[in-house]
Structure 1
Amino acid sequence: MKEEFLHYVWQHQYYDKNELRTEAGELITVLRPGRRNADAGPDFLDARLQIGEVEWNGAVEIHLRASDWLRHQHQTDKKYDQVILHVVYTADQDIWRTNGSVIPALALGPRIALALVNSYRNLVELPPASAVLPCGALLDQVPVITRTMMVERALLERVEQKAEAIAALHAQLDDDWEATAYHALAAGFGFKKNTEPLARLAKALPLAVVRRHRHEVRQLEALVFGQAGFLAETEATADDAYIQELRREYEFLRHKYQLAATTMPVHEWNFLRLRPANFPPVRLAQLVAVLHARPVLFSALLTATDIRTLEQFFTAPVPAYWRGHFQPGRPGKVPALGRSSLHLLIANVVVPLRVAYARYVGQPELIESAVALLEQLPAEHNHLTEPYEALGFVHQSAADSQGLLTLSRSYCQPRQCLRCTIGSHILRQNLLVR
């Protein structure tokens, strides 16, 4: 059993409260269990309890064994002097505050329904009955509306998490939304495998420099590929006149803008297990095309009203050389940016950018319209979403896909069943079973 289970039981008060007493025999009445503490210190703050004849306001600390208090060194930490009740599964010894006063203890072990404990262990601790969901074999206990609401909650968590990253980026860029859009766009073209290198490239090539040379595609190309480290002379490019020309252009611009210190080494880019169409030089060429064709980034991404307009925004002809080369000096026919890639850019760049802006200006209706874009996109089918479909989850749009991906990565894979409304529903079915 994990301590988080006791947190769950105490938070929801899922235990027998009849004749509730401390280990010393004093009656306990829980007037308010407190609120979960996400920071350092006791587990629940602002609790209100009556112990014996005295009403207490303070904190509640939770452990599997009372002796864990000593193992965690709480007896020397004054933050824990505010604890008014020590809730444990097993009370194996007394514990005390820094001044030596004993803290009342409540042992919940005998008060938790065995069926609830077994259900928890089946979900979280034992090998899962389903290859994907620990609760897969128990889903028939869960109403469809409960599943749907959990997927919607997971979707909003994913969007909010991405929006928070955008907001942090916006703060770092002195509240410049155009620069924020540039950095988010660059990272988006990394398509997961090269998100971090492209984010670093945006830092290595400031938007102010990009703006000065946006109209001259050859100069823009030289800046992007040069700062990315792809214009260094190699055996493959020794006789490539085009790359040599870009290299000369880049050397001039690098000196002019003092960019040498931020030039990226080519080994930072990831090629392993990527199809040639996803190679970093191909994605860089597509980024160059957008930066050259779209003079304004943020307002265009913010105001587009439909998916078709956004698809057109990201669809721009790449420089001719990169239509026939996967890497500098290595020819091959390169396909254009596909619809699935366009939709990933909308989901991972446009939607969180809009949500971050909506939060910044205090316009919640913009959040709704941003999430609505995901409902217009087709569902994404992959090895993470397909098992949920087999189990009967609705999967009709990218909004469903994003929710299912978060459900898988944040809840099912780490077996965070206690934080999931589906898992909680299954556990509640066992509360009255003894």
Structure 2
Amino acid sequence: MKEDFLHYIWQHQYYRNTDLATTESEPLQVLRTGYYNTDAGPDFREAIVKIGDVEWSGSVEIHLRASDWRRHNHQTDLKYDQVTLHVVWEADETISRTDGTIIPVLELKDRVDTALAYTYKQLQEARTIIPCANVWPDVPEITKTMMLGRALTERLEQKGHEVLQSYTTYNHDWEATAYHVLFKGFGFKINQEPMERLVKAIPATIVRKHRHLFQLEALLFGQAGFLADAEGEYVQMLAKEYGFLSHKYSLGDKAMQRHHWNFMRMRPANFPTVRLAQLAAVLANRQSFFTAILEAQTIKHFEALFMAEVSEFWQQRFTFSPEPSKATKTMGQGSAHNLVINVAIPLLAAYSQFTGNRTHLEKAIELLEKVKEASNKVTRLYEALGWKATSAADNQAALSLYKNYCQPVNCLQCAIGNKILKQNLLSRS
């Protein structure tokens, strides 16, 4: 058993409360359970309990064993002097505050329904990847839908929080922040790390001054290390322009090398050279990429934003090979949708948190619902239980549910797990 199970029992008062008394046989009434505390100090604050004829307002501390109080050194911590009730599974020891006064104890081991404890244990020790897989079909669809909706919101809030950290790093400049997120997104996992290195090697302030596609290609490919040994007239023109810009902005010491980039085991359309050409096209002739994100309304607008037409040279090549080959003018819709998910959505979520305006978050969710995304190894786990993902919103929700609840077996904080435990209680009553 884990301590969080006792937190759950206390918070929801899922124990027999008839003839409630402390271990010293004093009558006990719980008037208010208190507020769960995630910071340092007692587990529940502002609780109100009546012991005997005296009403106490203070905190509640919860442990598996009363002796855990001493093992956690609470007897020397002044923060715990405000504890008015110690709730434990087993009262194996008398405990006291820093001044030596005894703290009343409520023992739960004979007050919790054995079936509830057994169900909790089954979830915790389940051998299935999804702990509740065996009882998933018994959970009402509305409960699963609500939990997946909550999981999606939590995932977007987390993505937004990560962007806000970048916003602080980039001196509270939204354009520079969006620029960083855009570069990272164009890494498409395989080249995400070198893309993050590249964005640090070309300050956003420089890109703002050079919106011409040719100059942007020179900056990107030059700093990325692709122009050093390449041949051909167009490449030499890029190298010459890069030499000028590199000298003007003192970029040479930050330049990368070709070996930093990954080409192995990927289709030519995904080569980093192609992605850099597409990135240059997205940045070209646009005063503010971040403003473009905020102003775009429909999935078609976002597709157009990322599916910008590359230069003539890259419409015929995947690398700097002198020999032309059949390429495409723009990236595919699938890649554009990937950028919607990993660039546009986090920026909208972050700006929603920053402004306190949920309109941006709602737009992000609507976008995800419009994007069709293939199943992945996580969503397939839930689909095997009868659930079906129909959009990127569903996929993102499933990823969040798995990462934050199923994988760490955090069933007590999950509405689905709660429903399973509650149904068990109701069936016994």
Q: Same fold (TM over 0.5)?
A: yes
Identify if the C-alpha distance between structure 1 residues 90 and 274 changes in structure 2 by more than 3 Å, giving closer, same or farther.
Answer: farther
Structure 1 residue 285 and structure 2 residue 277: aligned? yes
Contact 1:293 1:316 in 2 (8 A): no
Shift of 1:311: 0.5
Partner secondary structure for residue 69 of structure 1? helix
Contact 1:354 1:367 in 2 (8 A): yes
Amino acid at match of 2:126: L
In the other structure, the counterpart of 2:172 is: 175
Partner secondary structure for residue 111 of structure 1? coil
Amino acid at match of 1:420: C
Partner secondary structure for residue 214 of structure 2? helix
Q: Indicate which of 177, 183, 186 corresponds to 1:186.
A: 183
Moved more, 41-50 or 419-428: 41-50
Structure 1 residue 227 and structure 2 residue 238: aligned? no
CA RMSD of aligned residues (A): 2.6
Amino acid at match of 1:148: T
Shift of 1:352: 2.7
Q: Indicate which of 403, 412, 421 corresponds to 2:415.
A: 421
Shift of 1:356: 2.6
- Residues 117-266 of structure 1 correspond to what in structure 2 (within 5 A)? 117-128=117-128, 132-215=129-212, 217-231=213-227, 233=228, 237=229, 246-264=238-256
Output the CA distance in 2 between the equivalents of 1:66 and 1:138: 34
Output the CA distance in 1 between the equivalents of 2:276 and 2:201: 14
Give me the identity figure in percent: 52
In the other structure, the counterpart of 1:378 is: 372
Amino acid at match of 1:344: N
Amino acid at match of 2:288: V
Amino acid at match of 2:309: P
- Residues 278-357 of structure 1 correspond to what in structure 2 (within 5 A)? 278-323=270-315, 336-357=330-351
In the other structure, the counterpart of 2:114 is: 114
Shift of 1:174: 3.7
Contact 1:347 1:374 in 2 (8 A): yes
Contact 1:124 1:134 in 2 (8 A): yes
Q: Deviations over 1:380-423 (max 9, x none)?
A: 31121123223222422221121112112221122111111111
Identify if the C-alpha distance between structure 1 residues 389 and 68 changes in structure 2 by more than 3 Å, giving closer, same or farther.
Answer: same
Output the CA distance in 2 between the equivalents of 1:404 and 1:376: 17
Contact 2:184 2:192 in 1 (8 A): yes
Large movers: runs of 4+ above 6 Å: none
In the other structure, the counterpart of 1:358 is: 352
Output the CA distance in 2 between the equivalents of 1:255 and 1:239: 21
Contact 2:232 2:322 in 1 (8 A): no
Amino acid at match of 2:282: V
Identify if the C-alpha distance between structure 1 residues 26 and 344 changes in structure 2 by more than 3 Å, giving closer, same or farther.
Answer: same
Output the CA distance in 1 between the equivalents of 2:14 and 2:291: 50
Contact 2:221 2:276 in 1 (8 A): yes
Q: How many corresponding residue pairs? A: 426
Contact 1:75 1:96 in 2 (8 A): yes
Q: Which runs of 5+ in 1 are unaligned?
A: none
Q: Deviations over 1:285-317 (max 9, x none)?
A: 221121125333122211222111210111123
Output the CA distance in 2 between the equivalents of 1:279 and 1:72: 54
Shift of 1:75: 2.1
Identify if the C-alpha distance between structure 1 residues 75 and 296 changes in structure 2 by more than 3 Å, giving closer, same or farther.
Answer: same
Contact 1:59 1:85 in 2 (8 A): yes
Q: Which runs of 5+ in 2 are unaligned?
A: none
Output the CA distance in 2 between the equivalents of 1:275 and 1:109: 60
| Superposition TM-score, scaled by structure 2 size | 0.90
